[in-house]
Amino acid sequence: MKYILAKSVEEALIGLYQAGGTGAIMGGGTDLTIDLESGKHKADTLVDVTGVPELKEIRLEGDTLVIGAAATLTEITHNPLVKKHCPSLTLGTGCVGSLQIRNSATLAGNVMSAQPAADGAMALAPYDPEFVICSLGGERRCKMGEMYAGFARSAIDPSKEMVKEIRIPILKENEAGSYIRLELRKSLSLPMLNVAAVARVVDGKVEWARITMGPVGVGPVHAVDAEAYLVGKELTAEVMTEAGKLAMNNAKPRSNPLRGSKEYREATLPILVRRALESIADQLGIKY
């Protein structure tokens, strides 16, 4: 195998191009290493981008928080800009795997692995981020939903292109975000269920709300019925409970031998959605 320690995005893209479809971009590598050994993923050339300075950056561009694809989950979790502008994101990035995993793994990789309840990806989803994807042919931008091709399947082909950065609209006044995880244990375990939300509430009325949940489908799934229901409503106890119930319209949880039966997940998901909204209400000083 050929191993390229890229020093720039351009060098990485050239390496990938020269591999002619048999290469793969390697970020933290905490999933890819396992998939390469098991044969689930094949590559003759690995292009390691963890040493590319511009991909490590976390910066603010106007109202957008930009997170480089090679920033580790630990770096994101402790970054003051992320804590200030997208605090609920750090609740997700801070509980992926274990500290050792977070010291290597990246948020871009958490999305690329496409696990439906990935903590980092879930906490990110309701911020409505954009992904900058690049290849030698140029750059394009993808929305969160366009990143997923199926269960544990990314729509981005790592042998042809790479994620360069994640662009996240920061929270403004009257906006708040939350992340809730139903867990068996804190470390080294995907959650039984997780829910993330971001909402804008002006003069007591919800202007918009985005709620995502997993594992109930492909990638983070929007609770679109609940989102539509919330518009124009006040965040009262009844409204938040009802939104939790409506979230079930878009959720198809399955039974998992380790992380809860379908029935258990169906019974608990509405409560998690309610709690995610309650957290937003609390942060915005709304009494319910």
Partner 1 sequence: MLLCTTINGEYMEVEVNPDLRLVDFLRDQLGLTGTKIGCRRGECGACTVIFNGKAVTSCLIPVMRAHGAVIETIEGLMGENEKLHPLQEEFINRGAIQCGFCTPGMIMSAKALLDENPDPSVDEVREALGGNICRCTGYKKIQEAVLGAAERIRKGE
Degrees, nearest 5: CA angle 111-94-3: 50
CB-nearer residue toward partner 1: 99 or 202: 99
Nearer to partner 1 among residue 99 and residue 237 (C-beta): 99
Range in contact with partner 1 (rule: CB under 8 A) among 11-19, 95-103, 233-241, 245-253: 95-103
What DSSP line would sit under 87-128, residue for residue? Answer: HHHHHHHTTSS-HHHHTT-BHHHHHHT--TT-HHHHHHGGG-
The strand pairing partners of 167, in sequence order, are 66, 130
Query: Is residue 77 within the footprint of partner 1 (CB under 8 A)?
Result: no
Which 3 state secondary structure label does DSSP give 226? helix
Question: Cis omega (within 30 of 0) on the bond before 257?
Answer: no
Q: Pick from 46, 52, 190, 211: which binds partner 1 (CB under 8 A)?
A: 46
**Cα–Cα distance measured from residue 216 to residue 115, given in angstroms and rounded to the nearest whole number:** 11
Per-residue contact string for residues 157-196; x = within reach of partner 1 by CB under 8 A: -----------------------------xxx--------
CB 33, min distance to partner 1, A:
5
29 binds partner 1 (CB under 8 A): yes
Radius of gyration for the alpha carbons in the chain, expressed in angstroms and rounded: 19
Contact residues: partner 1, CB under 8 A: 1-3, 5, 26, 29-30, 33-34, 37, 46, 48, 50-51, 74, 97-101, 103-104, 186-188
